[in-house]
Every structure is written in C-alpha cells, then in structure tokens.
C-alpha cells in the first residue's frame, strides 16, 4: 500500500528543545514537501525537495531545517522551537506525472 508516514503524530515540547519530525514514503517519488496548517492561514509550504540532496525554501522556512539524504525520507528539524511554531504539520509527496500530492497523516505540535 502506497503510504506517507510521519512521526510523531502528536508532540508537546518546550521552547528551545530541539526536535525532529520524520517523514517517510514508499511511493518512490522524488518531490517531497513540508507544510504547516494554521487556522485562518491555510496550508503554507515550509520547505520542499526535488530530489536527494536538493532542497529549497518554501513560503515560511524561518526556524526550520530539512535534509534529504535518501529518497524515501525527508525529516523536518526544529533546532530551537518557539511557541509560534505550534501548528499542524503535514509532509507531502508529489506524483509529478499527475501533479497529485499525497499527504502524511499530520503531526500536531505544541511548543510551550
């Protein structure tokens, strides 16, 4: 079954404590993205990756890092989380042939 998985699904942490949200896909697609979703602001792209070792900033990259060392994984790193990063995060994989985007189940992050 084609899947995009994210871990953890829920996380409560404190300001400044580094954290990583993992994203993994078994669909063999090159293009992956991270989004955050906030009430009234919709989905906003944080970073994207067009292939291994190729990443670029989206619309709201400040405070985040990503890496793409292998095709299937695209972790999102918050080096020093702050309360304004409390949000619902989605990893997504794009099928570039059909331009369809498949989302992971989401990670609800709370930074105290």
Q: Using CB under 8 A, list all residues that contact another protein.
A: 31, 33, 40-43, 45, 48, 50, 58, 90, 94, 96, 98-101, 103-106
Q: 96 with 29: CB under 8 angstroms? A: yes
CB of 33 to another protein, least distance (A): 8
Q: 32 with 52: CB under 8 angstroms? A: no
CB of 71 to another protein, least distance (A): 16
Helix (H) or strand (E) holding 19: strand 19-25
CB of 59 to another protein, least distance (A): 9
Token pair 């985040």 is found at: 64
Q: Which is nearer to another protein, 79 or 100 (CB)?
A: 100
């Amino acid at each position: 079954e084609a899947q995009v998985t994210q871990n953890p699904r829920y996380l409560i942490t404190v300001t400044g404590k580094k954290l990583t949200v993992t994203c993994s896909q078994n669909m063999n697609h090159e293009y992956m993205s991270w989004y955050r979703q906030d009430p009234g602001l919709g989905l906003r792209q944080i970073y994207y990756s067009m292939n291994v070792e190729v990443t670029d900033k989206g619309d709201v990259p400040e405070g985040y890092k990503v890496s793409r060392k292998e095709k299937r994984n695209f972790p999102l790193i918050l080096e020093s989380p702050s309360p304004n990063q409390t949000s619902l995060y989605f990893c997504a994989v794009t099928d570039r042939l059909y331009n369809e985007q498949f989302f992971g189940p989401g990670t609800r992050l709370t930074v105290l």
